[in-house]
Amino acid sequence: MSDSKPVLWHIEISHYNEKARWALDYKRIAHRRRALPGGAHMLAALGLSRGHSATFPLLVLNGEAIGDSTAIIGTLESRWPDPPLYPEDPQKRRRALDLEDYFDEELGPAIRLVAWHEITMDPERLALLVQRSLPPSLRDTGPASAVAARYAEAFTGLRYGVKSERAAERSREKVVAALDRLEAELDGNDYLVGQRFSVADLTAAALFYPLVLPAEGPQIGDPPEGFERFRAPLMERPGCEWVAAIYRRHREPAGVAAPIAA
């Protein structure tokens, strides 16, 4: 195996990217990170992957670009099996992977649409959020921040349909359904599969982070009023309390869990 460190290309506030970061940190894999703003990442992803992937996260490992958080975790698991994220028992492993797929497909897109729908209704918060993703030399430049915010609003509208209230309402229903499913699968247990942390727990917690906003997760500031109205009545539910507990137990603050080179 090459001595060169893996490079994770990521979007800092994305929940799918948080999933990949968490896996790297949990396994304490030394790696480099390269962040780009949402929207600008697509051309970079296409170039790095030679047209095979148009989104982040993207892990460059020994010259190979691996797209999709699920594929990234699968690759990490095969090359760095300890500590494991896949259960050893075949039936438990299948259940963990099925739950990973469910939260990826049903929760991930829905919670992203709801969050962006609400934040694009609050131009001031949108500008502050987008400003954080700009290169340091541009963060204090008013025109650059304004252009980036307008681009983010247009991009999320076209790519995710965030301007549709009907789509947002359907997505809110899917988020609540995913929370129902999480609580049913847990059934009072500490973990989703067996008696230890697995890819199922990591995926569910990472993709719920925009709702729960745990201190150990990406810091995105105060949520817009519309999103706060949605999340507030959910925060005392066992599923949200579980997400916060999983973060406390298994997710150290960014930059602590694994040595990350600049």
Domain spans of the chain, in order of start? 7-85+254-261, 90-124+161-250
User: Which residues lie across from 60 on neighbouring strands?
Assistant: 7, 65
CA-CA distance, 138 to 127, in Å (whole number)?
13
Res. 16: pLDDT tops 80:
yes
Select the more confidently predicted residue: 20 or 122.
20
Interior CA angle at 157 toward 169 and 209, to 5°? 60
Give me the CATH topology for the region 7-85+254-261: Glutaredoxin (3.40.30)
Token readout for 239 is 């599923």
Measured CA distances, 35 to 39, 98, 217, 240 (Å): 12, 29, 16, 28
CA-CA distance, 171 to 160, in Å (whole number)?
11
CA-CA distance, 141 to 42, in Å (whole number)?
24
Give me the CATH topology for the region 90-124+161-250: Glutathione S-transferase Yfyf (Class Pi); Chain A, domain 2 (1.20.1050)
Measured CA distances, 77 to 28, 81, 215, 255 (Å): 12, 5, 27, 21
Angle between the 108-119 and 199-212 helix axes, to the nearest 10 degrees?
20
Residue 219's pLDDT band (cuts 50, 70, 90): confident
Averaged pLDDT for residues 5-32: 95
- What is the SS3 assignment for 71? helix
Q: Could you tell me which residues come within 8 angstroms of residue 193 by beta carbon, excluding any fewer than 6 positions away?
A: 87, 92, 95, 96, 99, 200, 201
Model pLDDT for residues 163-200, shown as the tens digit of each residue = 688 999 999 999 999 999 999 999 999 999 999 999 99
Radius of gyration of the chain (CA): 18
* Mean model confidence pLDDT for the chain: 84
Model pLDDT for residues 77-89, shown as the tens digit of each residue = 999 999 999 999 9
User: E strands of 63-212, at which residues?
Assistant: 64-67
- What is the SS3 assignment for 239? helix
User: Which residues lie across from 211 on neighbouring strands?
Assistant: none
User: Which residues lie across from 10 on neighbouring strands?
Assistant: 35
Asked if residue 20 lies in contact with residue 26, where contact means CB atoms within 8 angstroms, the answer is no
Query: 260-261 and 58-61: which strand pairing?
Result: unpaired
Residue 125's pLDDT band (cuts 50, 70, 90): low
Exposed e or buried b for every residue in 10-41, given b needs 16+ CB within 10 A?
A: bbbbbbbbbbbbbbbbbbebebebebbbbbbb
**How many other C-beta atoms are found inside a 10 Å radius of the C-beta of residue 151?**
15
